[in-house]
Amino acid sequence: MSVLSKPLKIALLQLSAGANKQANLSKVREYIAKAIKENSSLDLIMLPECFNSPYSVSEFPKYAENIPNGETTKFLSDIAKEYGILVIGGSYPERGQDDKIYNTSVSFNRQGEIIAKHRKAHLFDIDIPGGITFKESISLTGGDKATVFSLPDFGAIGLGICYDIRFPELAAIAARPPQNSFAMFYPGAFNTTTGPLHWHLLARARAVDNQVFVILCSPSRDITSGYHAYGHSLVVDPMGNIIAEAGEADEIVYAELDPELITKARAGIPVTIQRRFEIYDDVAKDAKISDI
C-alpha cells in the first residue's frame, strides 16, 4: 500500500524577495490568493527559501525573527487558517533563544498551527573558481536534526532546505521505516552556477534513491539583486520524471501527487525491500528527528 493515502494537490510559489519585508509578505499574500482562486481544491502551498528577505549573509541578522512569536510566523499561520490550507513556509531567518541565527522553515496545518520546524542542517559554504563564492556560516548556524512530520490526512513527509538536498542521508531517513515518508520538500535557492549543474540532477536522484516525490521551490530570478536564483521550481515523481516545472520569473506551479505512482515504482523496482543492511548501516536507524 502507498505511504500517501490520497492524491495531494500542491502549488509552488516561485517569487523573488526584495529589501522591504512588508512588501515581500504582501506579495506572498497576493500570490496565495491567486493560487486559491485558480485552483480552489488546493491542499498545500509551498514558498521558496528566504521569501521574506534578501538572500545575503550580511542581511540575515537584520531580518531574523523569533519563532513562533515573530511577524512572519504569525503571517503564515493566519494565511493557513484563513484559507484552510496546509502551508510549507519556505524559509526565513530565525533568531533562536541562544541568539544564534538559523535559516528555518516552518510548516502549518489548516488551523494555522505549527506542525514542523526545520533548521537548515548543511550550510552553503562553497567556493567555485570562476563561478561563485558564498559562505552562509558567516552569519548562520546549522540545525542539528532531520525533520520528518505528519501531513494531516496524507501521511509523512521530510523537509530540508536547499543545500540539504546534496546530502542523501536526510531523504533516506525520511523515506525509510519507521518514518515512511512519501515526499521530500526542499525550499531552495540554487544560483545560476550551481542550478544548471545540479538542480534537476539532485532532485531526480533523491526521488529515485528513495522512490518518493521530491518537490523544490525556488525564488524567481532577479538580476538586479546581489544573488541570482536559478528558478525552475519543480516536482519530480518516484521514478525520477519531472511532472511540473517553472521557468525563471515569478510563477505558480501546480501539481498533483498521485499515490499510484509510488505503488507502481516500488512494485516494479523494489529497492525499498532489497537493501542489504547486513553489509552497510541504515542511516535511518537512531536518527535525530526534530520534534518542533
Rounded CA-CA distance 102/121 in Å is 9
Per the prediction, the chain carries an average pLDDT of 95
What is the rounded average pLDDT of the residues 225-251? 97
Q: Is 242 exposed, middle or buried (0-12, 13-18, 19+ CB in 10 A)?
A: middle
Residues noted as catalytic = 49, 120, 162
Least confident of 3-17, 116-130, 248-262, 270-284: 116-130
For residue 147, what pLDDT is reported? 98
What is the rounded average pLDDT of the residues 95-111? 97
Render pLDDT for 182-218 as a digit per residue (tens, 0 to 9): 999 999 999 999 999 999 999 999 999 999 999 999 9
CA 85 to chain centre: 17
What ranges do the domains of the chain cover?
Answer: 8-273
Per residue, what are the HEC states of 91-145? CEEEECCCCCEEEEEEEECCCCCEEEEEECCCCCEEECCCCCEEEHHHCCCCCCC
For residue 1, what pLDDT is reported? 43
Give the model's confidence band at 54: pLDDT under 50 very low, under 70 low, under 90 confident, else very high: very high
Grouping H, G, I as helix, E, B as strand and the rest as coil, residue 163 is: helix
Render pLDDT for 130-170 as a digit per residue (tens, 0 to 9): 777 788 989 999 999 999 999 999 999 999 999 999 999 99
Given a cut of 90, whether residue 291 has pLDDT beyond it is no
CATH superfamily for 8-273 is Carbon-nitrogen hydrolase (3.60.110.10)
